[in-house]
A and B are shown apart, each in its own frame.
Chain A
C-alpha cells in the first residue's frame, strides 16, 4: 500500500474519532440537542477504515445502528451527518432517521437496521442483486457489518446459509466488541463460553471464517481484501470476525424526556467493576497505535500527524456549528415519504 493510501486511512480513523467525540460532547455542551439513542464507533475506527479501504467503485455496504463511521469514511459530508443526529432539515436523511438510521445510497451505503441482526438478510439481498449485475458488469461486492450479538439471531444463520449456497458476493464483517449492551459474549454465546473465536460459526454454513485483530487497520484490510477478492471471483461469501473494543458505553443513557442524557462509563466498569480490562483497551487504542506505527515507519512525521488531527478537529467543529444552525424540518413534513 502506498504512503498516500496509508495516510488516507489514518486520516479517516482520526475523523471518525473526532466526530464521535463531538457527538459525545454534545450531550454536555448542548444538552437536549441530541434525542433518543446514539451509538459510537470509537475503538472500531481501524476495523471500519481497514474494511472500507478495500471498496472499489460500485461496491456497497449495509450496517447497524452503530453507523456514523461508515459514511464518514465514504466521504459523506460530516455536516449532513451531524445535522441528522441533531434532527435538522439539512440532515443526511432530513431528520427522519437520526443517529441509528443513516444512509447514503449514492456512495454505496444503503442503510442500517435498528434491530439487531435484521440488516444481515437485507445485505444478503443486496449481494444477490450484485451477483446478477456482476454477470454483465465489472464485479462488485457487498460488505455486511454487524455485531457479535447478531450472530445469535436466526437471521444471521439463514443469511449465511443462503449466501453460501448461492455463492453470493458478500463479505460478512462481524465487529466483535465482546458485549451485547452489558452482557458479555461468554454469557450468551456457546462458542465464546468455550473459548472459541466466533468465526467458527462459518463452519455451519460451509464458508471460510477468519478472525482478525480489528485494532490493526492493515490486518483488517488484508483479510477483507482476500474475502472481497474471493467474492468478486464468484467463489462466495466469507465471515470475518474483527475483534474490536468499544471505548464508550453501548450508547447514551436511556431515559424519558426531561432527564438529561449523557454517556455513562463503559459496562466493564459500570456493571462488572473491571477497570483493568477497560484501561488495557485504552492502552491498545487503535488510533494512536496506527499513528505511532506510521511515524515509526516514516510514513508520517509528527507535524503531519498533528496537522491531520487539527484538520479533523476543525472539520468537526464546523459540522457541529452547521448542525446547530440548521433549522428543524417543518412538522407537516412528517407525513412525507410514507409511500413512494
Chain B
C-alpha cells in the first residue's frame, strides 16, 4: 500500500458523518454474501493448486465488502461490468454459485458453458453483462450500456468495476469524458488495491487518488475505505438513488486490499511485509462481524451458521461442477457467430 493511499483513507474518514444505520436484515445479508465469496474463493485457491481449475485465476479475498455492498443494492435490470477479478461481483449480483464454479472448471454446465472461465463471467439474466480480461476494456462497454438505459427511458443504472491500474489507460479518460458529456447513469466503482498487477500505484502515476483523476470533470466522486462495509454501502446508496433519477456519472473509489497475489501462483516478490500485517487487521469480513456483534445484529451462533452455510454451498457447487461434462467441440464451434434471426438473410 502506498503512502498516498493511506492519506486518502485518512481524508475519507476525516469529518465523515456517522452513516445511517443499515437495517439488521440487510447487514446480515451483506455478511452472508461476504462469507459466500470468501469461502468460494478460498476453495478456488485450493482447486487451482490441485490443478482442478486451470488457467489464470484472480482472487478478491480482502475486497469482498465492495462486491457485496455494491451488487447487493442492484436490481437484475441494472448492469454490472466487471474485469478479470470478477468472482465476487458475479456471486453478489446473483449468479448461482454452482454454475459459477462449473464455469471456472470449464464445464458445459457453467454460466458460459465453459467457454469463458474465470476472467469472463457473464450472467445476462441477472445483469452481469460482462467481465473482460483486458485492463479497463470494460469501461467503454459500460458507458454504452448506460447510454442504452438512457435511450430506453429506464431508471436502471450501469455499474462498472475496475482497478486503479485501469485509470492510467487512455480509454478510462475517453469514457469519463463521454459519460460526463452525455450525463450517463453510470457509476464508476474503482477497487483501488494500490497495486496494478505487480507494481504499486506510485510507479504508475503522480496522482494520489483515483478520484482526483476525474477532478477536471466536476461530477460527484468520493473515496471510501473499501474495508468499511457501511461506508461503501452508504455512499453507493446515495449515488445509486441519484443515478436512478437520471443523474450521472459518479465515481466511487474504494480503497481495498488484495490479500493474495495478482493471480494464483504469483510469487509476490514485490510485497511489503509490514503493509501485509496492517491490512490483515482490516479484513472487511472480520470487521463487519465485529461490528455486528457490537451493534447487536449478529450473534456468535449466527456468524458460525453463515460460515457453515457458505462452506456447504461451496461443496454442493463443487459436486454440481464435477458431474458436469466439458463442452463438446461442436458446441464451441456453434457459438462463434449469432444465428440469423428468422427471415433475415445474414449467414
Contact = CB atoms under 8 A, between A and B. Distances in A.
Q: Do A and B come from one complex?
A: yes
13 contacts: A152-B174, A154-B171, A154-B172, A161-B204, A164-B205, A165-B206, A190-B181, A196-B218, A203-B212, A203-B216, A204-B173, A204-B212, A206-B207
Interface in A148-199: 152-158, 161, 164-165, 188-191, 193-194, 196
A3 B213 CA distance: 44
B179 to A, nearest CB: 8
Contacts, number: 69
B181 A193 contact: yes
A194 B181 CA distance: 9
Contacts of A191: 216-217
Contact of B180 (A161, A190, A207): A190
Contacts of A207: 206
Contact of B168 (A152, A161, A193): A161
B177 interface: yes
A190 B206 contact: no
B215 interface: yes
B214 interface: yes
Interface in A124-158: 152-158
Nearest to B213: A204
Interface string A191-217: 101101000111111110000000000
Contacts of B206: 161, 164-165, 205-207
- The majority secondary structure among interface residues of chain A is helix
B286 interface: no
A158 B213 contact: no
A204 B215 contact: yes
B275 interface: no
Interface size class of B (residues with CB under 8 A): 20 to 34
Contacts of B176: 190
Interface residues of A, number: 25
B22 interface: no
Contacts of A154: 169-174
Nearest to A199: B216
Interface of A: 152-158, 161, 164-165, 188-191, 193-194, 196, 200-207
Contacts of B217: 190-191
Interface in B194-239: 203-207, 212-218
A207 B216 CA distance: 12
Contacts of B204: 161, 165
Given A152-B173, A204-B173, 10 more contacts: A154-B173, A157-B172, A157-B173, A161-B168, A164-B205, A165-B204, A189-B177, A203-B216, A204-B213, A205-B207
B168 A158 contact: yes
A183 B84 CA distance: 37
Contacts of B203: 165
Minimum-distance CB pairs A-B, first 3: A154-B170, A190-B180, A157-B173
Interface in B156-185: 168-174, 176-178, 180-181
A153 B170 contact: yes
Contacts of A196: 216, 218
> In the complex, which of the residues A157, A205, A207 has the most CB atoms of chain B within 10 Å of its own CB atom?
A157
A241 B24 CA distance: 54
A158 B216 contact: no
A245 B218 CA distance: 27
A181 to B, nearest CB: 17
Interface centre among B173, B204, B205, B214 (most CB of A within 10 A): B173
A158 B207 contact: no
B205 A165 contact: yes
A203 B172 contact: no
A153 B169 CA distance: 11
A202 B52 CA distance: 48
Nearest to A194: B218
Contacts of B174: 152-154, 157
Nearest to B170: A154
Contacts of B216: 191, 196, 200-204
Contacts of B212: 203-204, 206
B40 to A, nearest CB: 35
B181 A188 contact: yes
Contacts of A190: 176-178, 180-181, 217
